[in-house]
Amino acid sequence: MEDLLRPLYQERTSQQNTLGVLAVQKNEQNRAFTENFDSILLIIVKEADEPVFIKHYVDRNEETASMYIITEAQLKEWLLLGSNRKVIEWLYHGRILFDRNEYVQELKTEMRDFPFYGRKIKMTIEFAKLIKRYTDGKAFFNDGHFLDAYNHVLHSLHHLARLSVIENGFYPELTVWNQVRHIEPEIYKLYEELLTSDENLQKRLELLFLASEFLIHSRTERGAEHLLSVMKEKEWWTISELLTHEEVMHYAVDLVTLIEYLIDRQLVQVVSVQTKGQGVFHRYYQAKK
């Protein structure tokens, strides 16, 4: 496989724009890890016309390789948001073939040490997704749409699992349930019960809502910490100001549901300000002090 990969990256190592090159080999236990290719070649560059460029190769022995050329800015965004877990795992587990000024090694160290700021925003992204899925799942359940409720609850457990992993200072892997099984068996048990219990679907969901309530509520302040710290920067906010905030916008799609949940938990309060219309008020939001 080295014979296939070397010509693909060798020329680039002499270019100042190239920061690092990593190789990832196929894992027979998890072929999806390398997208069913025999190898992944990950090339990190300072700048490029496209943030992500992909090419596929095959050699005479029918060995396959997928080459990813990724800009530093794109990689840093994925690392901050955790929005491309596969590439993050390639970076974490990949073998370094070229490393300009120990750039890749420092990235790996940063991932291992997991800076607190990155942990805060990642936790709120996952917590917002968790609350959105959980709230929608409960609404479907109350309306008697049990299959739709099941789908949303399953996703909410996945976000709860990722949140637990991040909370404990790790990056969530693609096989996140294997991590959670060791980190927080209680969450793994909920997931297992939902999938394998002999109870009918309605009863399974009912029991899960009861059991997961505490696990979610007990994480609220830490899970919403990033949003609450942003909101404390000024007296009150309109929903539009929050949605367009440069950091909050990363979880804007789930923000309205999260705000309503935090109002219910008495961590955010509503401030009503009179409009020009009689008896109509602007609704502003304020973090509880």
Q: Quickly list DSSP for the chain.
A: -HHHHHHHHTGGGGSTTEEEEEEEE--TT-GGGGTT-SEEEEEEES--SSSEEEEEEE-TT--EEEEEEEEHHHHHHHHHHT--HHHHHHHHHPEEEEEGGGHHHHHHHHHHH--HHHHHHHHHHHHHHHHHHHHHHHHHHHTT-HHHHHHHHHHHHHHHHHHHHHHTT-PPPTTHHHHHHHH-HHHHHHHHHHHH-SS-HHHHHHHHHHHHHHHHHTTHHHHTHHHHHHHTTSS-B-HHHHHTSTTGGGGGGGHHHHHHHHHHTTSEEEEEEE-SSTT-EEEEEEE--
* Range(s) of the domain holding residue 96: 2-113
The pLDDT assigned to 70 comes to: 97
Q: Is residue 281 part of a domain?
A: no
Model's pTM, two decimal places? 0.82
Whether 140 and 250 map to the same domain: the answer is: yes
Q: Is residue 48 part of a domain?
A: yes
Q: Is residue 283 part of a domain?
A: no
Whether 20 and 60 map to the same domain: the answer is: yes
The pLDDT assigned to 1 comes to: 61
Domain-ending residue, one of 113, 145, 175: 113
Whether 103 and 62 map to the same domain: the answer is: yes
Q: What are the pLDDT digits (tens) for 241-252?
A: 999 999 999 999
Average pLDDT, the chain: 91
How many domains, the chain? 2
Domain-ending residue, one of 98, 113, 128: 113
CATH number of 230's domain: 1.20.120.330
Q: What are the pLDDT digits (tens) for 35-59?
A: 889 999 999 999 999 999 999 999 8
CATH number of 71's domain: 3.30.460.10
